[in-house]
Amino acid sequence: FIDNPENISIGDSVWIDRNSILTAGVVQQKNIRTINNSDMDGRLLLGSNIHIGIGTIIQGHGGVSIQDYFTSGAGSKIYSLSNDVKKSHSGTNSRDKDSLHYIKGKVDIGRNVWLGINTTVVSTKIDDDVFTMPNSIITRPVEKNSIVGSTVKNSIGQRFE
């Protein structure tokens, strides 16, 4: 499924597997906090020689750039816009639109990056030649030529101040 194709650029030899979702476009909402500046707001740019695995979601509302020779494992997710859990006191579907809060940050993925099955990437940069282990959650920059994985801790802090 491709949503807002006018905001999506796809290079040569790109294989988009079934049940994948590519979405882009500028979101017109109040209360959006930007965590890293982006000149690509609302755009999704895919390089060449890329394989988007089965069921991958790439959400480019805050800007996503993916360089050549990228591979996503099945079920991978890349997000550049998310709900701000520290400020949203009325869920994500409130009639009071002023109570909805979002975080926007571009995703920049380098050349020859492979995301393992079910990897989630949120508003960060991944340098060239990186492999992520299956089920990784990537929220911080990843250095070139790395193999990374992550695990979920029981508690990482309070949700509300």
**H/E segment holding residue 121:** strand 120-122
Average pLDDT over residues 139-157: 76
The residue assigned the tokens 């707001």 is 41
Confidence of residue 135 (pLDDT cuts 50, 70, 90): very high
Note the pLDDT of residue 160.
54
Residues 9, 1: Cα–Cα separation, whole Å: 15
**Residue 96 reports pLDDT greater than 90:** no
Note the pLDDT of residue 158.
61
Q: Record the tokens describing residue 1, joined without a space.
A: 């499924």
Lowest mean pLDDT among 12-16, 38-42, 51-55, 72-76: 38-42
Cβ atoms of 80 and 107 within 8 Å: the answer is yes
Q: What is the β-pairing status of strands 120-122 and 77-79? A: parallel
Average pLDDT over residues 84-113: 82
The model's pTM is 0.88
Q: What is the β-pairing status of strands 120-122 and 81-83? A: unpaired
**Residue 76 reports pLDDT greater than 90:** yes
Residues 79, 63: Cα–Cα separation, whole Å: 9
**Residue 81 reports pLDDT greater than 60:** yes
Note the pLDDT of residue 93.
72
Question: Residue 15 phi/psi, 5° resolution?
Answer: -105, 115
**Residue 33 reports pLDDT greater than 90:** no
Q: 25 vs 90, 105, 108, 118, CA distance in Å?
A: 25, 14, 17, 24
Note the pLDDT of residue 152.
52
